[in-house]
Structure 1
Amino acid sequence: MRAMVYRGPYRVRVEEKDMPPIEHPNDAIVRVTLAAICGSDLHLYHGLMPDTRVGTTFGHEFIGVVEEVGPSVQNLKRGDRVMVPFNIFCGSCFFCARGLQSNCHNVNPNATAVGGIYGYSHTTGGYDGGQAEYVRVPFADVGPSLIPEWMSDEDAVLLTDATATGYFGAQLGDISEGDVVVVFGAGPVGLIAAQSSWLMGAGRVIVIDHLEYRLEKARTFAHAETYNFTEYDDIVVHMKKITDHLGADVAIDAVGAEADGNLLQHVTAAKFKLQGGSPVALNWAIDSVRKGGTISVMGAYGPIFTAVKFGDALNKGLTLRMNQAPVKRQWPRLFEHVRNGYLKPSELVTHRIPLEHIAEGYHMMSAKLDNCIKPLIVPSPSS
């Protein structure tokens, strides 16, 4: 098969790889019909995620058609059109039983924190991802879901991570009716978080970013009030001014570690297997929210960070809530929102890129070229 292959920082290309085999009786092989590049994939692309091995195939957002199933699979059959959550989970461990599928204890040797994730380095289990013609899907009876007949492919693929994560971010904010919500980051996750905040009763939604085309999308897609932080000496001071000098009730960090990284981050990631970074957005969130407020963290962070204003968070009596989104847990409600027209994830799609041109797609997204917000990857029709 043809698949995207990682060859080192800033070096990805499409190569021939062996077809993924059935390795366990509950595996399925899915022929990918649509995948996506996620903003968090840039941490891998830039060499900032620990233990990202040469030869790995990225991609944790994908949908497809079931090609083959293992002998134990009961819920899927060949030919089924399925959407696959980015979490790999067993469905039966201590954490899965409590709805924390993103923290599954049985799918990742490094499962002291995160569970398994497709195409996201060996720190999340070493599973190949879906930026390929075919992908192996473990625990096929508990992970994938049939795509409803009424749902478009582009809506479905965005429900496998970006939409579910943004919605979960607003959910973790514990928004009360009339709350002021500020979202840091106007990428796909931040835009969905902003839109979802209205569904949860927000009275005012503010989005902060530095790219004008993304702020324009926040205004038209999420109907949010927007501010470009480069236009202010101190965005935190401005946030206080526009919230009666109290601060927002809820802050959502949809940025995480800067994906570009600096020299120190590249060295620590490559040599010491640590992802470093400057949690600027998180500190802005801590400073911008009112005393007693809530911070929801959806941005991607590595295991070791410094200079987080934890003392300020403590003294302000803040509630910090965070996790990788348990995607499948969000789907029943999200299906209804999409069907009723309250959410239209496919409106975020700006580019559709053939798999063979995925290197150009990564460069475009990394460099923020051509007003790129969400690129989809389309395998060749012959796959």
Structure 2
Amino acid sequence: MKALCWHGTNDIRCDSVPDPKIEDARDVIIKVTACAICGSDLHLMDGMMPTMKSGDVLGHEFMGEVVEVGRGFTKFKKGDKIVVPFNINCGECRQCKMGNYSCCQRSNRNAAMAAEQFGYTIAGLFGYSHMLGGYWGGQAEYVRVPMADVAPMKVPEGVTDDEILFLSDIFPTGYQGAEQAGIKGGEIVAIWGAGPVGYFAIQSAKVLGAARIIVIETVPERIALAKKAGATDIIDFEKEDVFERIKEISKGEGADVAIDCVGMEASGGHGFTGLLDAAKEKLTKAERTTALDQAILAVRPGGTVSVPGVYGGPVTVNMGSIVQKSLTLRSGQTSVKRYLEPLTKLIQDKKVDTTSLISHVSTKLEDGPDLYTMFKEKKDGCTKVVFHPAG
């Protein structure tokens, strides 16, 4: 089959690789009908994630049609279309039973490797390094989905692939970023970044009742999307002082909630070094905390900073501001399974727009390397790339 594979920093290729096979009774094989390039994939492209190996199949945003199931498997049957969360869940460990699906204790085949970096293992992820399980991803014609009786969801009738594809990652990620910030209604919410996750965080904050949504962004196409999604105020960080503008908008009070949807590759920041070994240093040498620093500064005393943006290793954090201002800091990989049903309802009720984000569509995985570069460099108005490998 054809698949998009990692071969090193800035080296993404469309390769011919072996078709996946059933390895366990809980497996299914799907024919991919839609997959996407995520901003997190760009961290891999930039060589920021250690334990990648040449030839690894990329992609953690995907869905498709079931073409084969493990012996005795009953949740899905051949022909069912399913959307697959990016994290893999056993459904049996303590973390899964608590609903902390991103912290699954059994799905990471290389749990010891993850524990060495993070203290404890986290869930296995599709297409995201051997430290997180070494599972091949979904930017391919076919994918093996392990433990498929737990996290994946059958796509309801009347919903298109493009409408529901982002339930695999960025919609739940944006929603969790807003929900864990404690938005109840009436708040001033400041969101750093109007990329794909920020786009959904804006809509989620609106659904949850935010009174004012301030978005910090500089890319024109993303600013346009932010306004369409519900932003009431835009701060162009290349032209304005973010802190001063937020104080002005909030009449000196500060934002009630700050959401960092940028993460480790924030523009204008500085590097951080000092990990214990060379492999870990790859996680930190390009970590830039500009967005997080601004969020901690600009949120009001007693406010909440939510961090759905990706960070890979240690960074400097202004603990003085967090402690002295009595801030709550919340973060985490998204427990996607927790949100599948309620967010599907939002899509069906047309309360959230999941398709305007898509700027480039291709039926050819061979276009992948060029589209990766276009997405990374934000050329041609590229805000989100979707592939339909099955045509």
With the length of structure 1 as denominator, give the TM-score of the two structures: 0.95
CA deviation after TM superposition for structure 1 residue 261, in Å: 11
What corresponds to 1:308 in structure 2? 317
User: Relative to 1, partners in 2 of residues 1:303 and 1:267: Cα closer, same or farther, differing over 3 Å?
Assistant: closer
Runs of 4+ with deviation above 3 angstroms: 259-271
Aligned residue runs from structure 1 range 230-241, under 5 A = 230-232=238-240, 234-241=241-248
Contact 1:285 1:295 in 2 (8 A): yes
Structure 2 SS opposite 1:324: coil
Aligned residues between the structures: 379
Q: Which runs of 5+ in 1 are unaligned?
A: none
Aligned residue runs from structure 1 range 65-214, under 5 A = 65-108=65-108, 109=111, 110=114, 112-214=120-222
Instruction: Quote the Cα distance in structure 1 between the aligned partners of 2:23 and 2:238.
Output: 51
CA deviation after TM superposition for structure 1 residue 262, in Å: 9.6
Worse overlay, 359-368 or 63-72? 63-72
Aligned residue runs from structure 1 range 1-383, under 5 A = 1-108=1-108, 109=111, 110=114, 112-232=120-240, 234-258=241-265, 271-274=278-281, 275-276=283-284, 277-305=287-315, 307-353=316-362, 354-381=364-391
Contact 2:215 2:234 in 1 (8 A): yes
User: Relative to 1, partners in 2 of residues 1:131 and 1:343: Cα closer, same or farther, differing over 3 Å?
Assistant: same
For 1:281, the aligned partner's letter is A
Taking only aligned residues, the RMSD between alpha carbons, in angstroms, comes to 2.0
Contact 1:73 1:140 in 2 (8 A): no
CA deviation after TM superposition for structure 1 residue 223, in Å: 4.0
CA deviation after TM superposition for structure 1 residue 123, in Å: 2.0
For 2:347, the aligned partner's letter is V
User: Relative to 1, partners in 2 of residues 1:97 and 1:312: Cα closer, same or farther, differing over 3 Å?
Assistant: same
Instruction: Quote the Cα distance in structure 2 between the aligned partners of 1:264 and 1:270.
Output: 16
CA distances 1:216-265 after superposition (whole Å, capped 9, x unpaired): 11012234321111012x31122112211121000011000007999967
Instruction: Quote the Cα distance in structure 2 between the aligned partners of 1:254 and 1:328.
Output: 20
User: Relative to 1, partners in 2 of residues 1:358 and 1:263: Cα closer, same or farther, differing over 3 Å?
Assistant: farther
Structure 2 SS opposite 1:122: coil
CA distances 1:102-134 after superposition (whole Å, capped 9, x unpaired): 110001112514311110111211111000001
For 2:31, the aligned partner's letter is R
User: Relative to 1, partners in 2 of residues 1:369 and 1:269: Cα closer, same or farther, differing over 3 Å?
Assistant: farther
Structure 2 SS opposite 1:75: coil
Q: Which runs of 5+ in 2 are unaligned?
A: none
Structure 1 SS opposite 2:238: helix
Instruction: Quote the Cα distance in structure 1 between the aligned partners of 2:165 and 2:223.
Output: 23
User: Relative to 1, partners in 2 of residues 1:196 and 1:350: Cα closer, same or farther, differing over 3 Å?
Assistant: same
For 1:66, the aligned partner's letter is V
Instruction: Quote the Cα distance in structure 2 between the aligned partners of 1:266 and 1:355.
Output: 36
Structure 2 SS opposite 1:186: coil
Instruction: Quote the Cα distance in structure 2 between the aligned partners of 1:264 and 1:9.
Output: 18
User: Relative to 1, partners in 2 of residues 1:267 and 1:44: Cα closer, same or farther, differing over 3 Å?
Assistant: farther
For 2:264, the aligned partner's letter is A
Instruction: Quote the Cα distance in structure 1 between the aligned partners of 2:357 and 2:289.
Output: 26
CA deviation after TM superposition for structure 1 residue 266, in Å: 11
Contact 2:84 2:168 in 1 (8 A): yes
Contact 1:47 1:269 in 2 (8 A): no
For 1:181, the aligned partner's letter is V
Contact 2:32 2:390 in 1 (8 A): no
Contact 1:42 1:259 in 2 (8 A): no
For 2:348, the aligned partner's letter is R
Contact 2:67 2:79 in 1 (8 A): yes
For 1:163, the aligned partner's letter is F
User: Relative to 1, partners in 2 of residues 1:13 and 1:352: Cα closer, same or farther, differing over 3 Å?
Assistant: same
User: Relative to 1, partners in 2 of residues 1:341 and 1:227: Cα closer, same or farther, differing over 3 Å?
Assistant: same
For 2:93, the aligned partner's letter is C
Instruction: Quote the Cα distance in structure 2 between the aligned partners of 1:223 and 1:53.
Output: 40
Question: Percent sequence identity over matched residues?
Answer: 41
User: Relative to 1, partners in 2 of residues 1:79 and 1:218: Cα closer, same or farther, differing over 3 Å?
Assistant: same
For 1:161, the aligned partner's letter is D
Structure 1 SS opposite 2:149: coil
CA deviation after TM superposition for structure 1 residue 330, in Å: 0.6
Contact 2:87 2:125 in 1 (8 A): yes
Contact 2:215 2:233 in 1 (8 A): yes
Instruction: Quote the Cα distance in structure 2 between the aligned partners of 1:74 and 1:9.
Output: 41
User: Relative to 1, partners in 2 of residues 1:269 and 1:363: Cα closer, same or farther, differing over 3 Å?
Assistant: farther
CA distances 1:119-152 after superposition (whole Å, capped 9, x unpaired): 0111211111000001110001112111001111
